[in-house]
Structure 1
């Protein structure tokens, strides 16, 4: 006969046996010695029994007003009513106790009605048992059965948490659980060792819980060994917490282990690379590219350390947003080598007589706009020019206006937009166009576009331009009296610059090979080191809040060889 039971309960009876579904799981029953509707013995390792035991432990912890841990489920029975009655005997102990512990054995009755989400303790009683009559689960760590469902749940949770924290575009899946230990301490702590591998699937929530069949490995030879500690507390929400984790690339079979020290490998590690990715939002299209970028990153970290060792100033070199780029790729943030021929017909500024301030900074006088970002477009020359014009307009007309670099990229037909240009040409083109629009009206896109300049929208104009002496005292005097100076510089040391006064050797930073346009906005001296304050166009997170401090007085990296300015009449 068939009995109809509510929602999650269904019983199929024959003359000698029955199968019952409890919380969706089939349980085979023998009816020879049982009374239908009476109590039935249950496997203490069954999933629903473990869940009920955790619930009972949580209840007892609140009732005693102290944290306790479940040591063992001793016995369990169930009774099918309008729901399920559970009768369990459990052993508990104070949470965290390891020496002279007080053990208790508790009998707890719980009513569970899944379809109404009702679960409550009907009655409970505990008695002290010392020493524990059930030493099968020691208080320290013990090796666990890797096929145990609780262990699997813990490692799956760890895998999902690691994917959430990962900066990779691709999901990592569990390859193999290698080792597991469990410790009873205010819940259960699982110490896990497992293998992870990058898959072809994107790392997003929709792929959560997928296995290797659904998301196969992209490179079976590139795996990580992970160690993680997961804390399970049945009475808390959420029940699982990842306490710590560490993953390292697994060395391929036959690969020789490098000697310790001496090769610079200790300057770089995967953790540093992951931190770099997180800080600068670096995402890659495949695990293979990520691997390649990591190699470039480490090579650049080593190169930055060499710059640091060779610098004559106080500069700090290290990890910047450009640390995963090759030298060739980094050229996109500069321009082509400058041909200074167009400067030949520029009028030279008259020499200045007399003294000039020991230090000066146009930022203190409101003549400098915030640091901008050219992106991967070689438009540095345009930013150098607009910065100069912004300062000169402020000093002559009294107001600071942020001007459009994109107008020069699109409309200056003598220069080459994102492929590079020269301030000497740009000044003439501004005059020819009829002025510059504002940054707001003619917005920066970071790539070459068609010109849509409107003379009626131009807010700033210039009257002419001028070349400035390469004598650095004359440069300082001119700057303090007139405004910021547009210059060219060899950007050799800038890819890894983080701060301080940069002073690379001349043989490393050739002064005749200018490839980057910047803006000198001031100068000063720290100790015995005079310096220039240079505004760059790589955003405020590069260098010292977007600025480059360079030794003054030695023509460092050619910064004094292409100095120019627009002229704005009063």
Structure 2
């Protein structure tokens, strides 16, 4: 019998589900001595993982090196997800399970804090949200049609572009009623006005918003993403789909003020995502250890509270739908530190239309 490609993919998916159930099931009924994963089962799991994510290595030496990293991550995930640990979130062997944290940072982060002072932001802020006393208890801008599907930045350190674009997509929908997917590639190729942004190397959110206020932004269909930095195509940039008038910063280190603005529109924010728990996050309310050395940009598209009373921020990421909760993360809100967990409240920015 000849198997079609789709049939083969289905078989692989079934194996992954079965193997996952056997390997990552509840540890409650397991012997305390059975906490170490079997080497053979890990090797099989790695092969299935490679098929799922279409991973191909240059040679056997590279495959062996990647397997060791995969094994280390797999054992960490297995122990972390043990029910006795009682975490508020879970981890999984996602697309990034064969990378070290250092390798991941070099490829998938890339945002830097603004070089502007807080005072200079306030001089360019013509609009100030009122201090609302009756902000809604929860909001999800996806439910209001102001969020495009999750995108994938690939190994281009362009998270800054995806974060800024998502915020502009949101406010454009809120103001015009039209949800348009805008072009991150235009920012990667063309945002060189003040020399602050460097395409696939790194970028600043405030420079991205300044570019969109000056030149507008094309639709994604007009200027599609390529996962690499190229030459600015001015023929495409002339036909911009939207423009903002300005941008502003949320009051620094205030989750209360961030809540105020997010109740009105999606907001770009930077986080410190160092550590494998952020990278391998698969669901729940993230409450892991992280610092305030901001290195990654996301878009805050809502907030809420779980049935257990845990407050969270709802965040859209740019690592594809296989990461987190179909590309999204819930991160703990209302922590003791004024910067917020992972520094999410340290320097949020939002576009003005």
Query: What's the TM-score bracket when you normalise by the shorter of the two chains?
Result: 0.7 to 0.9
1:440 corresponding residue in structure 2: 221
Query: How many residues get paired?
Result: 305
Secondary structure class of the residue paired with 1:518: strand
In structure 2, relative to structure 1, the CA distance for the partners of 1:298 and 1:560 (3 Å cut) is: same
Q: What is the TM-score when the length of structure 1 is the normalising length?
A: 0.51
Secondary structure class of the residue paired with 2:279: coil
2:240 corresponding residue in structure 1: 458
2:27 corresponding residue in structure 1: none
1:391 corresponding residue in structure 2: 170
In structure 2, relative to structure 1, the CA distance for the partners of 1:363 and 1:311 (3 Å cut) is: farther
**Structure with more contact order per residue of length (Cα contacts < 8 Å, sep ≥ 6):** 2
Matched, 1:281 2:65: no
**2:50 & 2:152 partners in 1: Cα distance?**
19
**2:315 & 2:256 partners in 1: Cα distance?**
16
Structure 1 residues not aligned, in runs of 5+:
1-164, 167-259
Equivalence map 1:249-328=2 (5 Å): 264-266=36-38, 269-305=42-78, 308=81, 313-328=87-102
1:412 corresponding residue in structure 2: 191
Equivalence map 1:229-240=2 (5 Å): none
Contact 2:111 2:203 in 1 (8 A): no
In structure 2, relative to structure 1, the CA distance for the partners of 1:403 and 1:336 (3 Å cut) is: closer
**2:130 & 2:115 partners in 1: Cα distance?**
22
**2:34 & 2:149 partners in 1: Cα distance?**
43
Matched, 1:479 2:253: no
Contact 1:391 1:484 in 2 (8 A): yes
Secondary structure class of the residue paired with 2:136: coil
2:348 corresponding residue in structure 1: 563
Contact 2:157 2:200 in 1 (8 A): yes
Post-superposition Cα deviations, 1:204-263, rounded to whole Å, max 9, x if no partner, equal xxxxxxxxxxxxxxxxxxxxxxxxxxxxxxxxxxxxxxxxxxxxxxxxxxxxxxxx9599
Post-superposition Cα deviations, 1:406-448, rounded to whole Å, max 9, x if no partner, equal 000011113011111111111112223x200000110101111
Contact 1:335 1:421 in 2 (8 A): no
1:556 is displaced (CA, Å) by: 0.9
1:364 corresponding residue in structure 2: 143
Secondary structure class of the residue paired with 1:500: strand
**2:328 & 2:226 partners in 1: Cα distance?**
22
1:431 corresponding residue in structure 2: 213
In structure 2, relative to structure 1, the CA distance for the partners of 1:311 and 1:392 (3 Å cut) is: farther
Secondary structure class of the residue paired with 2:143: helix
1:500 is displaced (CA, Å) by: 0.9
Matched, 1:516 2:301: no
1:251 corresponding residue in structure 2: none
Give me the CA root mean square deviation. 2.4
2:285 corresponding residue in structure 1: 501
1:335 is displaced (CA, Å) by: 3.1
Contact 1:388 1:485 in 2 (8 A): yes
Structure with bigger helix share is 2
Structure with bigger strand share is 1
In structure 2, relative to structure 1, the CA distance for the partners of 1:530 and 1:431 (3 Å cut) is: same
1:553 corresponding residue in structure 2: 334
One of 195, 203, 210 as aligned partner of 1:421:
203
**1:291 & 1:539 partners in 2: Cα distance?**
26
In structure 2, relative to structure 1, the CA distance for the partners of 1:343 and 1:533 (3 Å cut) is: farther
In structure 2, relative to structure 1, the CA distance for the partners of 1:449 and 1:307 (3 Å cut) is: farther
Structure 2 residues not aligned, in runs of 5+:
1-7, 10-31
Contact 1:435 1:460 in 2 (8 A): yes
Q: What is the TM-score when the length of structure 2 is the normalising length?
A: 0.80
1:315 is displaced (CA, Å) by: 0.8
Secondary structure class of the residue paired with 2:225: coil
In structure 2, relative to structure 1, the CA distance for the partners of 1:560 and 1:541 (3 Å cut) is: same
Deviates more, 1:397-406 or 1:273-282: 273-282
**1:446 & 1:551 partners in 2: Cα distance?**
31
